[in-house]
Amino acid sequence: MTAMMAYSSISRWSGALGVCAIVVVARPAHAEPRAVVELFTSQGCSSCPPADQIIGELAKDPGVIALSLPIDYWDYLGWKDTLADSRFSARQKAYSRMRGDRDVYTPQAVVNGSKHVIGSDRASIEGAMIETKKADGVMSVPVKMSVSGKQLTVSVEAAKGATATAHGEVWLCSVAKAVPITISRGENRGREVTYHNVVRNLLKVGDWNGSSGSWTVPLENISRDGVDAAVVYVQDGNRDKPGPMLGAAYTSLH
């Protein structure tokens, strides 16, 4: 599906969810992935299941952080997406605004915050990973996460070379690794689709100015039912003007 959508401003982008904390032992996250792939998808979009499957395949690659961000603007077609979040719709629109185009559609994959392709086209996604990685600074900043007890610590190293003048924001995502959904109405009526690495909450943990930094976050601030992983990313720009991905890390929570 394609659409040129108008979005209302999001008054609340981040926040804590007061749910029980996940208790885990410390473990390292995957080191230095080469790409962050964000899939904007919808349970109400008949073209999306092949893209959802590709995200599941990419999620198995330790060098790729593949995320599903279900949008809400197709809810009027007869099925309300049970995972959708208006913040994801706003993020997709912000990417379009930064590119200077009106390309907002599902399934849409945004690779390393820089290039968009059709989310069901695996070859195009892989080509975009190669192309965007060549740009100065993209996925060049080492990011680590560690979990101990009821706290998660994010560490971002200092920038080097051309990236040293970069600035951006550090965001933490609550992630559900696999969410099966039975869809009873709309274009995917009668289908069961599994959504992979679904973002369930977003929390800004800090600003990054090119210097090394560290932040500690109580797990209760990102926890909710079904959350079993976390992703942190450092992105040039800000929430309303997102730029290239500078670094990211993924860790399981249990």
Question: In this model, does residue 9 exceed pLDDT 80?
Answer: no
Question: In this model, does residue 170 exceed pLDDT 90?
Answer: yes
For residue 1, what pLDDT band results from cuts at 50, 70 and 90?
low
- In this predicted structure, what is the pLDDT of residue 21? 32
CB of 170 closer than 8 Å to CB of 204: yes
User: From CA 211, how far away is CA 250, in angstroms rounded?
Assistant: 21
DSSP conformational letter for 89: H
Q: What is the mean pLDDT of the chain?
A: 88
Question: In this model, does residue 156 exceed pLDDT 90?
Answer: yes
CA neighbor of 159 nearest in space, from 98, 216, 210: 210
- In this predicted structure, what is the pLDDT of residue 78? 87
- In this predicted structure, what is the pLDDT of residue 165? 61
For residue 223, what pLDDT band results from cuts at 50, 70 and 90?
confident
For residue 83, what pLDDT band results from cuts at 50, 70 and 90?
very high
CB neighbour list of residue 175: distance below 8 Å, 6 or more residues apart: 67, 197, 198, 199, 200, 227, 228, 229, 230, 231, 250
Question: In this model, does residue 4 exceed pLDDT 60?
Answer: no
- In this predicted structure, what is the pLDDT of residue 164? 54
Percent of the chain with pLDDT over 90: 80
Which tens digit of pLDDT belongs to each residue from 102-144?
999 999 999 999 999 999 999 999 999 999 999 989 999 999 9
For residue 31, what pLDDT band results from cuts at 50, 70 and 90?
low
- In this predicted structure, what is the pLDDT of residue 5? 41
Question: In this model, does residue 58 exceed pLDDT 50?
Answer: yes
